[in-house]
């Protein structure tokens, strides 16, 4: 890489402006002299991840035996659903309607969380997958009674393949801890979108519609006692409620797999980082969550 100290001030300013332009466009990896095949690197990591031992998914969610999460475990291979195959591959990308149908079919065909993860990894109907490094499916304990669903992975989540590991995730961990929850022991976490939108832009309604069948099936298969929608996009998509500051903190229900699950919306930690005064509202929501779960508080 050229030594920028050899440049005159005008050239340095121009270079800095160019780098800022790239950063704002979502390009956040430096280019090196020699080409790096990052697909090969992530394939090797994925192979290593799959060969590590994993705690089995409980047949039915158990309250007394927290299971460490897969995310990092071996997932049984399943045949991708027919429609997913139909949209994967040759020629023009599928129409949004075809992609939504394919997503519904692929999600419905999965009968375990591992199968759903595999179906998602095989799904080619959402363009976000082509720019993301990883599919971010889940984190926490599959045996947890409470499931938190956020919006979409950011840069750190995309690099690690786990939801909520960046600054927002660290605040979410502190919010959980405030009522005695711990993501690896008794909380389960996912997003409505499993692939990072480039430059962390807001996912489009079309992208949300394509990914929605997968998160709905994930909730159904996880079957939590309480669903917590974290932030406005999750609340609007899953609960159909607009105006997060008004609807947060109210107990409602979410219909999944023929049963009603208790549900609540709360403020997104990214919002709380920007508006610390709103933390007192989130604190109230956490107390309600703790109460529903019967946590000592
Ligand atoms: N914000 C989200 O909504 N989800 C993540 O995983 C990270 C940040």
pLDDT for res 106: 98
Residue 97 CA to residue 103 CA, distance in Å, equals: 10
Ligand 1 lined by 164 (C-beta under 6 Å): yes
* Residue 115 counted as domain residue: yes
Residue 7 CA to residue 288 CA, distance in Å, equals: 58
Task: Note the pLDDT tens digit of each residue in 127-159.
Answer: 999 999 999 999 999 999 999 999 999 999 999
Task: Note the pLDDT tens digit of each residue in 259-285.
Answer: 999 999 999 999 999 999 999 999 999
What DSSP character marks residue 180? T
Share of the chain above pLDDT 70, in %: 78
The helix (run of H) or strand (run of E) holding residue 105 is helix 96-109
What DSSP character marks residue 57? P
Q: Is 33 exposed, middle or buried (0-12, 13-18, 19+ CB in 10 A)?
A: exposed
* Residue 117 counted as domain residue: yes
* Residue 263 counted as domain residue: yes
CATH number for the domain spanning 281: value is: 3.40.470.10
Task: Note the pLDDT tens digit of each residue in 4-40.
Answer: 677 888 888 777 777 766 666 666 666 666 777 767 7
Ligand 1 centroid to residue 87 C-alpha, Å: 27
Each as own residue / partner, the long-range contacts of residues 276-282 (CB below 8 Å, 24 or more positions apart, any chain) are: 278/245, 281/245, 281/248, 281/249, 282/175
* Residue 119 counted as domain residue: yes
* Residue 226 counted as domain residue: yes
CB-CB neighbours of 48 under 10 Å = 10
Beta strands 139-140 and 188-191, pairing class = antiparallel
The whole domain housing 120 covers: 96-292
pLDDT for res 7: 82
Ligand 1 lined by 269 (C-beta under 6 Å): no
The helix (run of H) or strand (run of E) holding residue 260 is strand 259-266
Ligand 1 lined by 150 (C-beta under 6 Å): yes
* Residue 216 counted as domain residue: yes
Nearest CA residue ID for atom 7, ligand 1: 164
For the chain, the residue count is: 297
* Residue 188 counted as domain residue: yes
The domain tally of the chain equals 1
* Residue 206 counted as domain residue: yes
pLDDT at 45 over 60: yes
Ligand 1 centroid to residue 154 C-alpha, Å: 6
Stretch among 68-77, 87-96, 135-144 having the lowest mean pLDDT: 68-77
What DSSP character marks residue 150? E
pLDDT at 97 over 50: yes
| Average pLDDT taken over every residue of the chain | 85
Alpha helix positions (H), 110-234: 113-122, 128-131, 155-160, 167-177, 183-186, 205-222, 232-234
């Amino acid at each position: 890489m050229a030594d920028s100290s050899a440049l005159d001030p005008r050239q340095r300013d121009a270079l800095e402006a160019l780098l800022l332009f790239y950063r704002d466009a979502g390009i956040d990896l430096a280019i090196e002299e020699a080409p790096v095949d990052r697909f090969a690197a992530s394939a090797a990591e994925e192979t290593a991840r799959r060969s590590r031992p994993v705690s089995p998914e409980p047949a039915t969610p158990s309250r007394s035996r927290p299971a460490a999460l897969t995310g990092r475990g071996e997932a049984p291979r399943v045949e991708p659903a027919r429609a997913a195959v139909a949209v994967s591959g040759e020629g023009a990308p599928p129409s949004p309607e075809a992609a939504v149908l394919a997503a519904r079919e692929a999600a419905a065909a999965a009968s375990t969380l591992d199968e759903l993860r595999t179906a998602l990894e095989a799904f080619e109907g959402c363009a976000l997958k082509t720019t993301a490094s990883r599919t971010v499916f889940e984190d926490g304990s599959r045996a947890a009674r409470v499931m938190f669903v956020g919006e979409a992975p950011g840069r750190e989540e995309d690099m690690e393949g786990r939801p909520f590991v960046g600054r927002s995730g660290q605040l979410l961990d502190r919010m959980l801890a405030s009522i005695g929850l711990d993501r690896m022991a008794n909380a389960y976490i996912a997003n409505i979108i499993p692939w990072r939108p480039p430059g962390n832009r807001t996912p489009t309604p079309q992208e949300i519609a394509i990914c929605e069948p997968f998160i709905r099936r994930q909730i159904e298969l996880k079957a939590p006692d309480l669903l917590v929608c974290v932030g406005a996009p999750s609340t609007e998509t899953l609960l159909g409620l607009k105006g997060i500051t008004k609807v947060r903190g109210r107990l409602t229900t979410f219909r999944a797999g023929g049963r009603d699950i208790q549900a609540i919306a709360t403020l997104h930690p990214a919002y709380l980082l920007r508006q610390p005064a709103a933390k007192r509202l989130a604190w109230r929501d956490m107390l309600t969550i703790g109460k529903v779960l019967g946590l000592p508080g």
